[in-house]
Amino acid sequence: MKVLAIDDQKLVLIPLALRLKELGYQVETATSVATGKALIESFQPDLVIVDINMPATSGIEIVKYIRNEKKSETPIMILSGNTDDNIIAQAFDLGANDYMKKPLSLSEVCARTKRLIGVPNQMGSKKDFQDVLIQKRCVGVVIPCYNEEERLLSAAFTSFIKKNSGYHLCFVNDGSKDNTLQVLNELRKGREDFITVYDCKQNGGKAEAVRLGMLHMAKKQDLDYIGFLDADLSTDLADFDALVSTIESTDYKIVSGSRISRMGANITKESARKIISLSINYIIRKILSMDFKDTQCGAKIFHKDVIETSFKDKFVTQWIFDVEIFKRITLKYGLANAKKMLCEQPLKRWIHADGSKLSMKDSVKIIGQLGQIAIHYRANKKSKKNATINFSNEMFFPLEKNLEV
């Protein structure tokens, strides 16, 4: 029995195709309506699974093609994040046999497939499948790594991407002196569709590692959101997924984790570090003119359309680049709009892991770096303001240059 799955996001297609093949179905996939139509002709599927929201051409065109042009009764299953009642009604009116809303269990997709076309004659060996959620969004996660050979929790990362579809992890090796690169390449082996290793030959610091990783992931067209996370998993992967849930269900462009202590949360930190952190945070709030409680949490998720503004240019500082990101958003969109675009979300769990690269002495240096940020972006703001004034003068006095001798 043959199944054709059409979805513009490969991170959705890969686990779906794998599970159906393990059940004994022949499976082909397509990432566009045009390719899907061609495969309908050549592959002659017994079932077509199609997404609605695809770039250029809607998946509804596949339903029209099968029912109106081909005059075929081939079963059609819609698998989409589109919950518009009018679209759902249109799909059924055109002849769709089933409509499932993302996110949903991969086991449910398989069960409905069996209901529509039956079980293959040569069914694959029975396996105890780990249930996987098919998400309606795809997320890239950048994880900067410097000498993480001993600390990298490889099993936690692989377990997460196995259970949660729609995630692509990008580990950035920041010129590590130990065997981190080998560990990362081993981690990627057999998971190339879900894990990327970006190798920086020289150590450039966390800020540059994150920046390069974010820009690299932004080139992937099937990602909706891109974020970054510390390699030591001081922020839990489940908590990071909660940040993603917030950004996809709101109009926020950036959702930042916050390590603020609250009832029911497992937040631990050394007392001396806490005192310094509070002092630094006070200065940061003054620089940003925002009431951010914790800008430095190493877990943040970004809407793809603010990646260039946030990461195109190199950062002035090595450790507190998060402050620079928020400052760049403010300069680009204005303070009032920036406040509407940024969200701070408390984490349920955060633990200061042993082996942190940031010492107490480094923490004191941060105050000096905050001064650098204040000076740099104040000058940047003035230069933009002057450019605007000059542009306005040219608009109101366009003949001035021509009159000069």
pLDDT band at 393 (very low <50, low <70, confident <90, very high): very low
Judge whether residue 279 has pLDDT over 90. Answer: no
Judge whether residue 287 has pLDDT over 80. Answer: no
Chosen CATH of 2-117 out of 3.40.50.300, 3.40.50.2300, 3.20.20.105, 3.40.250.10: 3.40.50.2300
Rg of the chain over Cα atoms, rounded to whole angstroms, equals: 25
For the chain, give every residue range classified as CATH 3.40.50.2300. Answer: 2-117
CB 254 within 8 A of CB 226: no
The topology (CATH level 3) of 137-384 is: Spore Coat Polysaccharide Biosynthesis Protein SpsA; Chain A (3.90.550)
The better pLDDT of the pair 273, 243 is held by 243
Check residue 398 and give its pLDDT. 41
C-alpha 123 chain-centroid distance: 36
Check residue 34 and give its pLDDT. 95
Evaluate if pTM is beyond 0.85. Answer: no
Distance separating alpha carbons of residues 255 and 233, to the nearest angstrom: 18
Distance separating alpha carbons of residues 284 and 289, to the nearest angstrom: 8
Check residue 274 and give its pLDDT. 65
Check residue 317 and give its pLDDT. 85
Pairing of strands 299-303, 254-258: antiparallel
pLDDT band at 241 (very low <50, low <70, confident <90, very high): very high
Q: What is the mean pLDDT of the chain?
A: 85
For the chain, give every residue range classified as CATH 3.90.550.10. Answer: 137-384
**Type of residue numbered 128:** D
Distance separating alpha carbons of residues 90 and 166, to the nearest angstrom: 27
Residues 165-190 have pLDDT tens digits of 889 999 999 999 999 999 999 999 99
Q: What angle do CA 251, 256, 259 make, to 5 degrees?
A: 140
CB 2 within 8 A of CB 113: no
Sheet holding 225-229, edge to edge: 195-200, 167-174, 139-145, 225-229, 299-303, 254-258, 342-346
Judge whether residue 3 has pLDDT over 70. Answer: yes
Judge whether residue 355 has pLDDT over 90. Answer: no
Check residue 391 and give its pLDDT. 40
